[in-house]
Amino acid sequence: MEGKPITAGIDFGSRTIKIVELLDGKIASFDILDTSSSAIEKIKEKVQSAGYSHVVATGYGRYLLRDNLLPDKYGHSTVTEIKACALGANFIDPRCRLVVDIGGQDFKIIEVKGDGSFGHFELNDRCAAGTGRFLEIMAQVLGYGIEEFGQEALKAQTFLRISSMCTVFAESEVISLLTSGRAREEIALAVHYSVVERLYPLIMKFNLQGDIMLVGGVALNVCIKDLLAKKLGQEIFVPENPQIIPALGAALIAFSSSQTEKENL
């Protein structure tokens, strides 16, 4: 394997930074780092030491990477999260026709075509409701770790609703329910259901023929997956390591660029 070029995709998100390395167009390794100044320095060191042939950046901070961290030899390549996510999803499951990407601060619903390109897509507004950050805040209010939040919500015996999707108002409503004596797991289930209720009308704008893939950090939440599948009446596929799908798409573009360059030599 020595001497073979490694290409990389970097997804600079609001909460985490994902780096995917490809060798001969196949996943060789990946890293997930918290978004912080120290993480940015680690990326810089990794890019400079790894000897990548090509790098493509995507995500919230892709222009920061392009302008400040990626050496000139990479051509300052960037790609939108929409395109990268569609490509990454198609690579993992060629039958995928819809991706629901729930990140730390936003969510995206993307039509995926058979060739890995994207069609229609829907984005949330600037409100953090329905995102990973919303779930983190609600978990903290209820005294749960984010890793256990979904599992605990599934233990609820009674269903109730949270009327507000605004993070501030929902937090007040959750506190009010707690003080009234409602069980934590019941409130947790209501929080998760409110997220699914926000996603559902946007998803229903799409043709639901083909596989539906749930990606992003929130895809690790089993309650969101289960509630969404029940609401849609359809199976939802969560790939292994769902956080890295946009970074994978960016890495695939980097690999394609390396192949084109090789052909032109």
139 and 75 share one domain: no
| Count of C-beta atoms within a 10 Å radius of residue 224 | 27
Output the domain CATH number for residue 164. 3.30.420.40
Predicted structure pTM score: 0.90
102 and 221 share one domain: yes
63 and 118 share one domain: no
Residues 149-201: pLDDT tens digits?
999 999 998 888 887 667 777 888 899 999 999 999 999 999 999 999 989 99
Q: Give the domain range for residue 135.
A: 95-238
166 and 56 share one domain: no
191 and 103 share one domain: yes
Higher pLDDT, 165 or 206: 206
102 and 188 share one domain: yes
Residues 123-148: pLDDT tens digits?
886 566 678 888 999 999 999 999 99
Residues 6+ apart with CB under 8 A from 99: 85, 86, 89, 108, 109, 110, 112, 212, 213, 214, 215, 245
CA–CA distance, 113 with 94 (Å, rounded to integer)? 9
Higher pLDDT, 73 or 49: 49
Query: What DSSP element (H or E) covers 34?
Result: strand 26-34
In a domain, 28, yes or no: yes
Q: Which one-letter DSSP state was computed for residue 65?
A: I
In a domain, 87, yes or no: no
Residues 30-51: pLDDT tens digits?
999 888 777 777 787 888 788 7
pLDDT at position 204 is 95
Domain count, the chain: 2
217 and 147 share one domain: yes
In a domain, 1, yes or no: no
CA–CA distance, 252 with 55 (Å, rounded to integer)? 10
